[in-house]
């Protein structure tokens, strides 16, 4: 009869298995933690990249709009001159020539309008230093104080940005005669 030699008792094998399981569970927990950190880092990087792409698109749009605004700002004196020609046309000029000029001015306004150009409303509006540049005052009893009563040069904005403020005259109350004026 042969006897088998068992190097360990039955209780020692279970303890070894338990230690091995505990070690593996610790390693699994460590790997799960590392995986969670990697996922979190990946999500943060993806969000940062998405924000970067949005910021770059916005900067490109602003650059394009700024370039349009600069070009429009340079074309506004030409538009002013053409409108002045129409406002001061001499007598005896061929009407078909005037109609052609009016059509050209309208086409220029439409072309600039497609790039966001909008005239600033001035006459009858309350004076706003962001939109209007006051170059004088007119005494008026029919308009409330600080109301635009006349526009000397039209102002424009491109979307929400003012490219040129309107030159205006603003109403003020008539001055009261003083005692020195009466004598």
What string of pLDDT tens digits covers the 183 residues of the chain? 555 555 555 567 788 888 888 999 999 999 999 999 999 999 999 999 999 999 999 999 888 777 777 888 889 999 999 988 888 888 888 888 889 999 999 999 999 888 888 898 888 888 888 889 888 888 877 778 888 888 888 899 887 788 889 989 998 887 766 555 554
Q: In this predicted structure, what is the pLDDT of residue 37?
A: 95
- CATH classification number, 118-175, choose in 3.40.190.10, 3.30.470.30, 2.30.22.10, 2.60.40.10: 2.30.22.10
In 3D, which of 162, 138, 159 has the Cα closest to residue 150?
138
The tokens for 106 are: 């309208």
Q: In this predicted structure, what is the pLDDT of residue 11?
A: 63
Question: What sections of 88-176 are H helices per DSSP?
Answer: 95-113
**Entry pTM:** 0.57
Q: In this predicted structure, what is the pLDDT of residue 38?
A: 95
**What ranges do the domains of the chain cover?**
118-175
Q: In this predicted structure, what is the pLDDT of residue 3?
A: 55
């Amino acid at each position: 009869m042969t006897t088998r030699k068992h190097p360990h008792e039955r209780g020692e094998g279970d303890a070894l298995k338990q230690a091995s399981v505990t070690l593996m569970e610790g390693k699994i927990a460590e790997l799960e933690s590392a995986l969670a950190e990697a996922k979190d880092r990946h999500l943060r990087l993806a969000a940062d990249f998405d924000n970067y792409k949005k910021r770059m698109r916005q900067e490109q749009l602003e650059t394009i709009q700024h370039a349009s605004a600069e070009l429009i700002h340079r074309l506004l004196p030409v538009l002013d001159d053409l409108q002045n020609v129409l406002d001061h046309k001499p007598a005896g000029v061929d009407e078909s020539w005037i109609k052609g000029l009016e059509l050209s001015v309208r086409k220029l306004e439409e072309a600039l309008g497609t790039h966001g150009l909008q005239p600033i409303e001035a006459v009858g509006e309350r004076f706003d230093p962001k939109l209007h540049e006051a170059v004088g005052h007119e005494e008026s009893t029919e308009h409330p104080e600080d109301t635009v009563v006349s526009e000397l040069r039209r102002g424009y904005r491109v979307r929400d940005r003012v490219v040129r403020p309107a030159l205006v005259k603003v109403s003020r109350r008539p001055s009261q005669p003083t005692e020195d004026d009466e004598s």
